[in-house]
């Protein structure tokens, strides 16, 4: 989470997050529809964009280019018969997600390692573990509401029936041990242990149907941030950190979020009498954006901070109170689409 990248119909740029500052700006004649960045290395996988009056023009893109930005050249190419929906990278693997299939390639020689079938996956949902060693991959299963967990260490495949509706968002902890899921209803987010498929926790975003844009774990899985089309960013307190950190957690009692009191409904004593809604676990902290704002969220390096990056070009850093909860405090805000400010040469040839 130390940097983020954005693609436009002109090319791409990369920004440092802490402190916020521009890093890279690249112009491509035909523009791009997708980009995936390998950590902070100058290696990218790019998916091109063709100009067309059709709003679905990007759906025609079927080539992934491995781009070495240091050498300013393409060092590899992968071609497919159907549009690429998303790309995920590890130091050793390139994962290409299509509508019904996922392909895994060795990073060094682009050799095909494995392929998986999924249910219809227009959003290209797929996440992979990032620690060294065998990879763990999660993606939609073959049935509605199911998630496939592919463990390349144990060579075992597990299916988790996470929701009754279609899966619309996934997140994985850095080590791959905890999975968060949301469905097309967007009311409940569930966390699972990927090793045995057990449900660890269920939290409630709200009562109304919503489109979940992003789920993000904090580094220790103590917190989960959620963004949706309702415009409110939520931060939940999780029990999942015990799965990630075992019994060696050093979190002090003072840092424990409200002893979970704000997250639990005061009516939980009536659990089993009142509808499930009243005994749900609610978010500890919130931040309000205009309704419909499409954004992704991530946790900052500074303690108890999150970053909110919007499709409107907004970059915000906010801080939340882990003890008292409530509304977050905005610490800074920028517009990364103001190219003339960040990259004076961007408009030289315009």
Task: State pTM to two decimals.
Answer: 0.84
Run of H or E residues at 260: none
Phi-psi region of 224 (alpha: psi -120 to 50; beta: other; left: phi over 0): beta
| Residue in 224, 346, 345 with CA at minimum distance from that of residue 281 | 224
Which domains does the chain possess?
A: 1-117 (2.130.10.10), 167-241+278-342 (2.130.10.10)
pLDDT in tens, the chain (350 residues): 899 999 888 888 899 999 999 999 888 777 788 999 888 878 899 998 754 433 444 335 899 999 898 888 888 999 999 999 999 999 999 999 999 999 999 998 999 999 999 999 999 999 999 988 899 999 999 999 999 999 999 999 999 999 999 999 999 999 999 999 999 998 999 999 999 999 999 999 888 899 999 999 999 899 999 999 999 999 999 986 666 655 444 333 333 333 343 443 444 444 454 455 555 788 999 999 988 889 999 999 999 999 999 999 999 999 999 999 999 999 999 999 886 667 765 554 43
Confidence at residue 276, expressed as pLDDT on a 0 to 100 scale: 57
Q: What's the CA gap between 89 and 33, in Å, rounded?
A: 17
Confidence at residue 266, expressed as pLDDT on a 0 to 100 scale: 41
Question: Are 147 and 189 spatial neighbours (Cβ–Cβ below 8 Å)?
Answer: no
Q: What's the CA gap between 221 and 50, in Å, rounded?
A: 39
Question: Are 342 and 324 spatial neighbours (Cβ–Cβ below 8 Å)?
Answer: no
Confidence at residue 58, expressed as pLDDT on a 0 to 100 scale: 39
């Amino acid at each position: 989470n130390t940097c983020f990248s954005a693609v436009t119909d002109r090319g791409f740029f990369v920004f440092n997050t802490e402190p916020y500052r521009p890093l890279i700006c690249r112009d491509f004649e035909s523009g791009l529809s997708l980009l995936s960045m390998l950590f902070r290395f100058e290696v990218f996988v790019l998916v091109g964009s063709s100009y067309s009056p059709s709003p679905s023009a990007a759906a025609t893109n079927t080539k992934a280019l491995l781009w070495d930005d240091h050498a300013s050249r393409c060092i590899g190419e992968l071609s497919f018969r159907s549009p690429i929906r998303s790309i995920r990278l590890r130091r050793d693997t390139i994962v290409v997600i299509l509508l019904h299939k996922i392909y895994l390639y060795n990073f060094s020689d682009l050799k095909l390692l494995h392929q998986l079938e999924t249910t219809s996956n227009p959003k290209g949902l797929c996440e992979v573990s990032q620690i060294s060693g065998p990879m763990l991959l999660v993606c939609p299963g073959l049935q509605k509401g199911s998630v496939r967990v592919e463990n390349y260490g144990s060579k075992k495949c597990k299916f988790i029936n996470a929701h009754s509706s279609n899966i619309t968002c996934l997140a994985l902890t850095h080590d791959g041990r905890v999975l968060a899921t949301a469905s097309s209803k967007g009311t409940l987010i569930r966390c699972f242990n990927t090793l045995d498929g057990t449900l660890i926790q269920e939290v409630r975003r709200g009562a109304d149907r919503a489109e979940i844009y992003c789920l993000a774990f904090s580094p220790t899985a103590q917190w989960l941030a959620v963004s949706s089309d309702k415009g409110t960013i939520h931060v939940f307190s999780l029990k999942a950190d015990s799965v990630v950190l075992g019994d060696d957690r050093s979190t002090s009692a003072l840092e424990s979020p409200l002893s979970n009191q704000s997250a639990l409904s005061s009516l939980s004593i009536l659990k089993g009498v009142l509808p499930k809604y009243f005994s749900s676990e609610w978010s500890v902290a919130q931040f309000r954006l205009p309704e419909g704002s499409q954004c992704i969220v991530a946790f900052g390096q500074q303690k108890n901070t999150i970053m909110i990056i919007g499709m409107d070009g907004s970059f915000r850093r906010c801080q939340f109170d882990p003890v008292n909860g409530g509304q977050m405090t905005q610490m800074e805000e920028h517009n990364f689409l103001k190219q003339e400010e960040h990259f004076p040469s961007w408009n030289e040839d315009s």
